[in-house]
Amino acid sequence: MITFGATTLPLVGWVADPRRHEESRMMRLSAIRKLIESYNLQAVELTLDLAAGYPQLFDAGFYAAVADLQQELGFLGTIHLPFLWVDPASLNEPIRLASAACLHQAVEVTRTVDIHTYVLHLWGFTTTQISAQLQDPTQRQVILGAVMTQADRSLAELCRFVDPRDLCVENLEDSLFDLALPLIEQHGTSICLDVGHLAWQGVSEVDFLAEHRDRIREIHLHDAVLPSAESRYQIRDHLALGQGQVDYLALLSRLEETRYDGAVILEVNTQPDLEESLERLSKYASFSIETA
């Protein structure tokens, strides 16, 4: 059975106030409780960029409190490993090493929480930007080959601390995922299917699921608007379900048909978008949503 969940970001945002130590921690814990008790979700994805950015707030003690809450409420725990300002595939070795250390620290600080899956961005924004500028095929092959060598090293190091099956490499907005597939197979890791990111590549989420079903252990669900001749904008994703063109019902139906039993995490950024998405899911899923 599909396990639906969300992050706390729509409720309390990306930043915290280090001057309000206890209040900042309690806001996150209260948001977790709201996701489970008020919204009737079954999973919570912990955003570990918060621990990386505010280590004095979201430390081992905070995650011990999360573990206590998990014991009380019985939710499935997943982790999104840090991805902002880190790059495990960086050709700058000090940056790669610092990124790997950041990922390792995120794993260690959450050891008290029962974690089902760890979502990993195997490369960062800088790598994505550089790859987009590589027009010469020979140069592109050489540079991206070196990038994937670095990614291989970081993945191998992380697999020393995390069960490879629990580590889910996420498909991102760029076209590098196919280059990462040999590494995923080599290290025996899993995959996080991000529906909106596939829209950037013009790839069907149902086709992606069919190709990688055996490795997919987590799904990030959000809507996306594709560019058109009339639109001046690029793809917009992380939208509420129903605000874009993703056929999420077809995906959910296919997940049921294949007996997918992992987490489907709603990745939206505002409370209204979360509630709109849950309202749409309530017509499909066998749980009710209390948004009052």
Residue 289 lies in a domain: no
User: Does residue 10 lie in a domain region?
Assistant: yes
* CATH number, residue 203: 3.20.20.150
Please choose, from the candidates 233, 219, 224, 181, the residue with its C-alpha nearest in 3D space to the C-alpha of residue 201: 224
Report the distance separating Cα 159 and Cα 30, nearest Å: 32
Question: Whole-prediction pTM value?
Answer: 0.94
Q: Domain tally for the chain?
A: 1
Q: Is residue 240 part of a domain?
A: yes
User: How distant is the alpha carbon of residue 130 from its chain centre?
Assistant: 22
Based on DSSP, count helices (H) and strands (E) in the chain, helices before strands: 12, 10
Cα separations (Å) of 37 from 160, 170, 274, 281, 291? 36, 29, 15, 17, 11
pLDDT by residue for the chain (292 residues), tens only, comes to 889 999 999 999 999 999 999 999 999 999 999 999 999 999 999 999 999 999 999 999 999 999 999 999 999 999 999 999 999 999 999 999 999 999 999 999 999 999 999 999 999 988 888 888 888 888 888 999 999 999 999 999 999 999 999 999 999 988 899 999 999 999 999 999 999 999 888 889 999 999 999 999 999 999 998 876 565 567 788 999 999 989 999 999 999 999 999 999 999 999 999 999 999 998 766 544 554 4
Exposure string over 5-20, b if 16+ CB within 10 A, otherwise e? bbbbbbbbeeebeeee
Residue 287 lies in a domain: no
**292 lies in some domain:** no
Q: Compute the distance between CA of residue 112 and CA of residue 132 in angstroms, rounded to an integer.
A: 40
Q: Is 103 helix (H, G, I), strand (E, B) or coil?
A: helix
pLDDT at 130: 85
Domain containing 214 equals: 3-282
Domain membership of residue 288 (yes or no) is: no
167 found inside a domain: yes
Q: Does residue 290 sit within a domain?
A: no
CA 7 – CA 119 distance, rounded (Å): 13
